[in-house]
Amino acid sequence: MKAMVLNAPGGFDRIEAIESRDPGEPGPEEIRVAIKASSLNFHDLLVAAGMIPSDDQRVLMSDGAGVVEAVGDGVTEFAIGDHVVSGFFPQWLDGAPIPSVGNFAGTPGDGIDGFAATQVVRAATAFTHAPEGWSHAEAATITTAGLTAWRALVVNGGIKAGDTVLTLGTGGVSIAAIQIAKAMGATVIATSSSDDKLKRVQELGADHLINYRTTPEWGSAVQDLTDGRGVDHVVEVGGPGTLAQSINAVAVGGHIALIGVLTGRQGDIPTGALMAKQARLQGLIVGNRRQQQAYVAALNQTGIRPVIDRTFPFEQLADAFRYQESGQHFGKICVEW
């Protein structure tokens, strides 16, 4: 079996292809999956760069999509040949967040071995069915980025037709959020530092565009675009460096889904402005299995397909991370066996 592992203390030059022990046959309530693809997320980059400590020779990648090769006793949800996609928190099946999701101890590619391997044996509940007719690379975009956007807008945000959504940048979460928002009948205001990328999000349905490099006070620009009302939902992927502008942009009683830390892990928050807006600021990390199943059902109904910028062979995983770090991508970066 092939696997891509990270040697301590981390760094892209410490990623290595190895021959690993075959995982064997699945036990009761388990399935064996031939992994065909994964997709890169900011969390994966932090692990690979050594910014999140992990065990030596940790198998990388939180996302995994592939084909069921064998099923253990008691498994009725899956059959040999089914196309499946992994969950980010395999221990969180339904309901409110559970304590063990707070430290990533059970998250593939971080606390446990991930999906940069040709075969894995896991609990059947660690996977859901993939969307119908999707490639494995497309399905691999669901686990982290897609489900995060779904939870932000649909599960936590309760988005409805006529709402207004603000997205930041053109990474995987933001692109998925634009697609979900438009499918739900919302108006989308999208930001980016690149006019070329803004043209591409316009093609995806974004209604209003803001270049945050040329318009640094983009929160006020959002207020102008909404006649002083603000937006109902902000998909906040930046963190402390962008949160003040997001609070300015949100409507009174609106919702800010705090997802990312692209600008850092801590900083000043204008609490007075947040209180005056009576807005809901909610941190979230991906979602549970039940939410992923609902997201897949919605994808099957809407016909949404993910935007994949570029796909690398798994053996070039380090190069894929370097490309991700450069910020040139639009949408998702994937790797395939």
Domain membership flag for residue 120: yes
Burial of 202 (0-12, 13-18, 19+ CB in 10 A): middle
pTM: 0.96
pLDDT tens-digit readout, 114-150: 999 999 999 999 999 999 999 999 999 999 999 999 9
Predicted local confidence at residue 102, as pLDDT = 87
The answer on pLDDT for 263 being more than 90 is: no
Mean per-residue pLDDT, 295-299: 98
Q: How confident is the model at residue 332 (pLDDT cuts 50, 70, 90)?
A: very high
Predicted local confidence at residue 297, as pLDDT = 98
Whether residue 301 sits in one domain with residue 260: no
Instruction: Write down the residue that tokens 């030059």 correspond to.
Output: 13
Partners of 282 in the beta sheet?
A: 257
DSSP state of 89: S
Domain membership flag for residue 152: no
pLDDT tens-digit readout, 76-95: 999 999 999 999 999 999 99
pLDDT tens-digit readout, 274-287: 999 999 999 999 99
Predicted local confidence at residue 260, as pLDDT = 77
Mean per-residue pLDDT, 247-263: 91
Q: How confident is the model at residue 53 (pLDDT cuts 50, 70, 90)?
A: confident
Amino acid type, 50: G
| CATH of residue 209 | 3.40.50.720
| CATH of residue 307 | 3.90.180.10
Whether residue 139 sits in one domain with residue 10: yes
Whole-number Å distance between alpha carbons of 220 and 231? 11
Predicted local confidence at residue 222, as pLDDT = 98
Whether residue 317 sits in one domain with residue 215: no
Asked whether 246 and 189 are in contact (CB, 8 A), the reply is: no
Rg of the Cα atoms in the chain: 20
Whole-number Å distance between alpha carbons of 211 and 258? 21
Whether residue 291 sits in one domain with residue 279: no
Asked whether 231 and 254 are in contact (CB, 8 A), the reply is: yes
Whether residue 278 sits in one domain with residue 327: no
Predicted local confidence at residue 55, as pLDDT = 86
Q: What is the length of the chain?
A: 337
Relative to beta strand 208-211, strand 187-192 is: parallel
Asked whether 205 and 188 are in contact (CB, 8 A), the reply is: yes
Full domain range(s) for residue 203? 157-283
